[in-house]
Structure 1
Amino acid sequence: MKSQASTLLAEVRTFRQNHPDVRYVDLIALDIPGHFYGKRYPIEMLEKVAAGSPLKLPQNAVLLGVQGGLFKIGDYCFHDGDPDANRRLVPGTLKPVSWESQPLGQMLITSDGTEAPIEFEPREVLAKVLERLHHKGIHPVVAFELEFYLFDKKLDNGLPQFARDPLGDDTDDQPNLHIERLSRFSEVLDDMAQTAKDQGIDITVITAELGPGQFEINFGHLDDGLRAADWAALFCRSTRGVALKHGYRASFMAKPYLQFPGSGMHVHVSLYDGAGNNVLAAHQQQPLRHAVAGCLELLPHCMPIFSPNHNAFRRLGGTVNAATRASWGFEDRDACVRIPDSDPRNLRIEHRLASADANPYLVLAAILVGLEHGLEAKREPIAPLNEDRSSGTDFPVEMLDAVRAMQHQPVLRDKLGAEFIDVYCENKRQDHLAFQQEINAREYRWFL
């Protein structure tokens, strides 16, 4: 602990030397719906926290709904006195914020690694999964890919408008993968990439996607799953801020347009043993098949994580490369679990089902649990799509059905934690019911 405090204190002092104009730092963490919460600390108080002073925030901040409201979940929120819980600073995450009008810093905080971690905090859920895998001699290497849309900054009666490029066109007429779209939006995209790199995020490939104003950003592979999920979360925050600075809105909403593709979160995962050997490639790739079978078996029970809101379920089916059933295949983007072509050293799965607005910590935790379960159960998967285009198993496509499928699944309750499963399912159920408590204009047109 003394060594960590010394490291954190050195990090804060170095930051102050390099950024003397920064007076405040946002201490932030991701809640269950995938939004950042936290507090803005004076930089001198942050130095005291780094030296060992307590850092406490309300435990129930993690339970916030999409709109920030609190739901009655067991005894939490309304019958527990709303207690504080300890947080700690995440080393290496103190970075400048360049998209605000005033100099500012930000730093991740978490309850994992404290004396009493919050069992349902997303980062803690992932930390426990990774720790268990490490004890079994399994070391994941992870890379995220995130799709997002750019919109005009101004809404039209609450509806998004296409992003206007510097040529002044009212619509984006550049087709999928067209390099010209990257050129037209190069100013904002370059700023997004540079800002992410300033946050310590390894940005690699940038792609123009099929939707108007839709792009994909790839991150480098990491042997630290927590850090990989940190990158995904922080990228969303910085990208939204940079877009506003340039007169756009950036959104990771799963399905902003019914007629165009949705935005996904693709996660590449390979597994290595302590000697650096690829676990999935051993014994003529038999462990790969077992791991795929485990992912597919648990996938229908993880849908509230992969599709965390009403809009996310709209993304499934009906458009390019959006699966409608739990499936797998070699070099097949229609599959939920794709096996990219690679040499044995880099053999991996690409999990393609999650929406871009899903919680990256929980998505990765669910994928890893599926892989772990498959390696333990040693079952053969269903036929890949390469052999049978109709292969696949059904999964829930509506939130309340998905919650019911998740809540009592024994493997998930064991490996993700029963307390987390109960809290998460109730949070999603309450959020979904709250969303339904509004009558829109179409409902009046149909039924008045």
Structure 2
Amino acid sequence: MKTPPCALLAEVRTFRQNHPDVRYVDLIALDIPGHFYGKRYPVEMLEKVAASSPLKLPQNAVLLGVQGGLFKIGDYCFNDGDPDANRRLVPGTLKPVSWESQPLGQMLITSDGTDAPIEFEPREVLARVLQRLQHKGIHPMVAFELEFYLFDKKLANGLPQFPRDPLSDDADDQPNLHIERLSRFGVVLDDMAQTARDQGIDSTVITAELGPGQFEINFGHSDDALRAADWAALFCRSTRGVALKHGYRASFMAKPYLQFPGSGMHVHISLYDGAGNNLLAAHQQQPLRHAVAGCLQLLPHCMPIFAPNHNALRRLGGTVNAATRASWGFEDRDACVRIPESDPRNLRIEHRLASADANPYLVLAAILAGLEHELETRQEPIAPLNDDRSSGTDFPVEMLDAVRAMQHHRVVRDTLGAEFVDVYCENKRQDHLAFQQEIHAREYRWFL
């Protein structure tokens, strides 16, 4: 639904009154690999955009690879004249940026809701899924949890170093879950949480995770699923900025250390009808079982979304609470799909497979597509891990295998959009080929 220009204009003018020292605002959107692109606008020009002046950026900016390069994907990029495409401002996202050296603002932009949305823009993909669910009377309630690592700001020969304990100046190289780590790194963690809140993100619980320098920050549940994904995207940006301000690096890289747990993106989802009833809890929780079956059915065919790069595939299996097969269970963190203990009003699924550096819009779209499909076909899931520890179905763990499994799957193409699936899979295929174009030092040690 479009926001009237008068409301957007009022938001910009209120921002200027509250932040008179801000001269520029970054207008940003998430591309396919999950990086922000955009333009830095003078704040007075932003008023013109809010008042309905056109906002155009190159359509193909969405197609950038992990390293920022353009790949030939069908006729895009090199045979289409590199056209512009309309974007719109996302209301409620104009916020101050506190981690830069100069006063700045930032605001999300998107093509969804414009006259000609970009079919492969991640936010548009999610918006289409949500619109379809809304027409069916299904309203998701969503919450993200994101794990990340802190590192020392300086790299050692290109490799990350453990963060320095600010109290002792020793390396924080001991994996633990101790509450004291939250105290030792309290200054930077508190700044991350407060900065997130300043961005409009409902950040809640902070946890010291098992890896050295690893933490998790949770977000509140939102009945606006697009906004929940916005929060996850914006949190990654602000957290990296705040860490640098405090002399650290923050990374959502899925598996920075082979010997320690990787970082995941956990997504909690409930489904409600128009009257506020939890659909998953109806009929002795039978819809919950159908929803689980849908998640597990599509999971092997959405692996390029859940594990979008080579490092993310390293995270799967072999460490604590990382699934090796598509599985589910009640209160079981070894499962891809966990059912946390809750009352019927708050009954939900927790999808635990995605890596922390996955694109939150696409992750949520893929999960909801699975839920939607099986709520209609009503199949039963495989046995939960609580009944059978060997229960589960295999999923691809090599990128080219994962791309093939995704690109030609009928349900994935129908629910996420055939054009998006083709573009996304070719983007991942080209990233894979580009990644292979460098000889690692290990190859010389082994084969020279």
SS in 2 for 1:259: coil
In structure 2, distance between residues paired with 1:242 and 1:175: 23
Structure 1 residue 168 displacement after superposition: 3.3
Q: Could you give the per-residue CA deviations for residues 51-87 of structure 1, whole angstroms, max 9, x where no partner exists?
A: 0100000000000000000000000000000000000
2:72 aligned partner = 72
Structure 1 residue 48 displacement after superposition: 0.4
SS in 1 for 2:223: coil
Q: Could you give the per-residue CA deviations for residues 325-351 of structure 1, whole angstroms, max 9, x where no partner exists?
A: 000000000000000000000000000
**Cα 1:2–1:355 shift into 2, 3 Å:** closer
SS in 1 for 2:117: coil
Q: Could you give the per-residue CA deviations for residues 239-294 of structure 1, whole angstroms, max 9, x where no partner exists?
A: 00000000000000000000000000000000001111100000000000011001
**Contact preservation (8 Å) 2:209, 2:215:** yes
**Contact preservation (8 Å) 1:232, 1:360:** yes
SS in 2 for 1:282: helix
In structure 2, distance between residues paired with 1:170 and 1:371: 47
2:269 aligned partner = 269
In structure 2, distance between residues paired with 1:175 and 1:40: 40
In structure 1, distance between residues paired with 2:396 and 2:88: 37
**Contact preservation (8 Å) 2:328, 2:384:** yes
Q: Could you give the per-residue CA deviations for residues 97-118 of structure 1, whole angstroms, max 9, x where no partner exists?
A: 0000000000000000000000
SS in 1 for 2:140: strand
SS in 2 for 1:173: coil
Using the size of structure 2 for normalisation, the TM-score is 0.99
Structure 1 residue 175 displacement after superposition: 4.7
Structure 1 residue 440 displacement after superposition: 1.0
**Contact preservation (8 Å) 1:30, 1:36:** yes
1:430 aligns with 2:430: yes
User: What is the aligned length?
Assistant: 448
**Contact preservation (8 Å) 1:146, 1:217:** yes
SS in 2 for 1:215: strand
Structure 1 residue 169 displacement after superposition: 4.2
**Cα 1:436–1:3 shift into 2, 3 Å:** closer
In structure 2, distance between residues paired with 1:37 and 1:393: 37
- Which shifted more, 79-88 or 164-173? 164-173
**Contact preservation (8 Å) 1:174, 1:180:** no
**Contact preservation (8 Å) 1:141, 1:271:** yes
1:118 aligned partner = 118
**Contact preservation (8 Å) 1:253, 1:357:** yes
Query: What residue ranges of structure 1 are gaps of 5+ in the alignment?
Result: none
Q: Could you give the per-residue CA deviations for residues 215-254 of structure 1, whole angstroms, max 9, x where no partner exists?
A: 0000000000100000000000000000000000000000
Q: Could you give the per-residue CA deviations for residues 162-213 of structure 1, whole angstroms, max 9, x where no partner exists?
A: 0001123433255532110000000000000000000000011000000000
In structure 1, distance between residues paired with 2:279 and 2:167: 50
In structure 2, distance between residues paired with 1:303 and 1:37: 24
In structure 2, distance between residues paired with 1:283 and 1:300: 28
1:309 aligns with 2:315: no
In structure 1, distance between residues paired with 2:386 and 2:3: 53
SS in 2 for 1:2: coil
In structure 1, distance between residues paired with 2:43 and 2:278: 44
**Contact preservation (8 Å) 1:142, 1:269:** yes
SS in 2 for 1:8: helix
In structure 1, distance between residues paired with 2:92 and 2:169: 42
- Which shifted more, 173-182 or 217-226? 173-182
Q: Could you give the per-residue CA deviations for residues 343-364 of structure 1, whole angstroms, max 9, x where no partner exists?
A: 0000000000000000000000
Structure 1 residue 4 displacement after superposition: 1.4
**Contact preservation (8 Å) 2:112, 2:118:** yes
Give RMSD over aligned pairs: 0.9
Q: Could you give the per-residue CA deviations for residues 6-55 of structure 1, whole angstroms, max 9, x where no partner exists?
A: 00000000000000000000000000000000000000000000001000
Taking the TM superposition and a 5 Å limit, the aligned residue runs for 1:394-433 are: 394-433=394-433
**Cα 1:287–1:89 shift into 2, 3 Å:** same
**Contact preservation (8 Å) 1:292, 1:381:** yes
SS in 1 for 2:216: strand
SS in 2 for 1:3: coil
SS in 2 for 1:297: helix
**Contact preservation (8 Å) 1:255, 1:262:** yes
**Cα 1:224–1:2 shift into 2, 3 Å:** closer
1:86 aligns with 2:49: no
**Contact preservation (8 Å) 2:2, 2:113:** no
**Contact preservation (8 Å) 1:330, 1:338:** yes
In structure 1, distance between residues paired with 2:40 and 2:247: 25
**Contact preservation (8 Å) 1:290, 1:381:** yes
SS in 2 for 1:124: helix
Structure 1 residue 3 displacement after superposition: 6.0
In structure 1, distance between residues paired with 2:166 and 2:291: 47
Structure 1 residue 444 displacement after superposition: 0.7
- Which shifted more, 92-101 or 172-181? 172-181
**Cα 1:173–1:65 shift into 2, 3 Å:** closer
Q: Could you give the per-residue CA deviations for residues 101-145 of structure 1, whole angstroms, max 9, x where no partner exists?
A: 000000000000000000000000000000000000000000000
In structure 1, distance between residues paired with 2:100 and 2:261: 31
In structure 1, distance between residues paired with 2:316 and 2:47: 47
In structure 2, distance between residues paired with 1:171 and 1:332: 33
In structure 2, distance between residues paired with 1:341 and 1:4: 42
Taking the TM superposition and a 5 Å limit, the aligned residue runs for 1:27-106 are: 27-106=27-106
Query: What residue ranges of structure 2 are gaps of 5+ in the alignment?
Result: none
In structure 1, distance between residues paired with 2:416 and 2:212: 38
